[in-house]
Amino acid sequence: MSTNKQIYSVIKGTGSYIPEKVISGDAFLSATFYENGLIIEKENAEIIQKFSEITEITERRYIDEALVNSNIATIAAQRAIDDAGIDKELLDQIIFCHNFGDIKSGSNRMDILPALAAKVKKELNILNPDCVAYDLIFGCPGWVQGAIQANYVIKSGDANLILVIGAETLSRIIDGHDRDSMIFSDGAGATIFEAKESDEPIGLLAHKTQTYAANFGSLLVMGASSNPNETNGNAYLKMNGRKLYEFAVLNVPQVVKKALDKAHIDINDVKTVFIHQANGKMDHAIMKRLFKLYDLDTVPENLVPMTISWLGNSSVATIPTLLDLVLKEQVRGYKVNDGQYAVFASVGAGMHINAFVYKF
C-alpha cells in the first residue's frame, strides 16, 4: 500500500532560564562612556533615556556570579526535557548554540574545552554514547541555525530526538565604557525537536540562510575597550549599531520572504513571528519592510511577541526563550494554536541572516 507520509521535525518541548538579577537603566548612571577615545559629555541619564527610546530596553537580566553559560543552559535543557516528557537517554544529539563559551565572573577569558554541549551532557548525566553533543557558533542567529541543522539530521533519518540550546552570558564580555553594552543580557532557551510522520506538512517546512561576510563581517567583532586608558589586553563585544541597523532592515525581510516562498505560504497566513530580540525599533522596521514586500502597508496587531523591554538582547537565547514563554502563555496577548503558521528569523555577527517557516 502506498503512503504519502513523510518525516517532519516538530517541537516536542521547550524550556528556558531567565536570570533573577534585574539590571535597570539606573545601574549605568555611574558609568563613564567613551566614543572615539573621548568621554561622552552628555549626562548619563540622558544617554540612558535615549537608548531606551531607540531599543525599547528598560531592563536586562544578568546571571549570578556563581554560574556560567553551560550551567544555565543545563537548567533550560532539563526544563525542555521535562516539558517534552522524554527519557533524556533517548536524545540523539545535543546542539549548543552560543558565541563565547563559559566565562567566569570577574574574568574575560572564554572556555570552550570541552564543547559546551558536552558539558551540558555531563551535567544532565546522559550516559548514552550515541547522544552526540556539539557546539554551533553562528552569532545571534545560532539557535535558528541549530533548528535548521536539527531538521536536516532528522530528515536524513539519522535522529529521532534532538535538543537545540541557545544560551549566552553577554554580561561577561561587554565593555562597561561602551554605551552599546546596555543592550546586552544573559539567558538560556532550549527546544526538543522530534521526528514525526505525517500525511500533511507540519513542523519545520522551509528555511533560508545567508552570510554577508565580505562586506559586513566587521559589524560585530571583538575589540579593545572604548576607554583608551585601559591596557589590560581584554577584548570585548563591539558593534557598529547604525550600520547593523541599516543592514538588518534592508536584508532580513528579503530572507524571510524567500523562506515563505519556499514553503508556498502567504504572509497573511502567518499568525506569529518569532524574531530575534535585538532592538525594538529595528525589529518593528524589519516587519514593516517585510509587509511592504507584499505591497501591504500595515503589520497586523499581535503578530510579533516582544520581550526585549524586560529581558534585553541575550543573543542566541532570545528566540528559544521567547518561544518557551509564548507556548506557556506567559507573554500577554499571545497564544499558539495547532495548525497555525509561524516564522522564526534572526540576524547577527557574520553577518548571518536566517529564517524558517513552521506549522504548529
Q: How do the domains of the chain map onto residue ranges?
A: 6-198, 203-359
pLDDT of residue 1: 42
pTM: 0.95
- Other CB atoms within a 10 A radius of the CB of residue 197 amount to 10
Same fold, 6-198 and 203-359: yes
Cα within 13 Å of Cα(137), Cβ side? 7
Residues of the chain scoring pLDDT < 50: 1-2
pLDDT of residue 2: 46
Cα within 13 Å of Cα(38), Cβ side? 4
Domain 6-198 classification at class level: alpha beta
pLDDT of residue 3: 63
pLDDT of residue 231: 87
The domain 203-359 having CATH identifier 3.40.47.10: the answer here is yes
Report how far residue 87's alpha carbon sits from residue 75's, in angstroms, rounded to the nearest whole number: 16
Which residue's C-alpha cell is 536524545?
A: 91
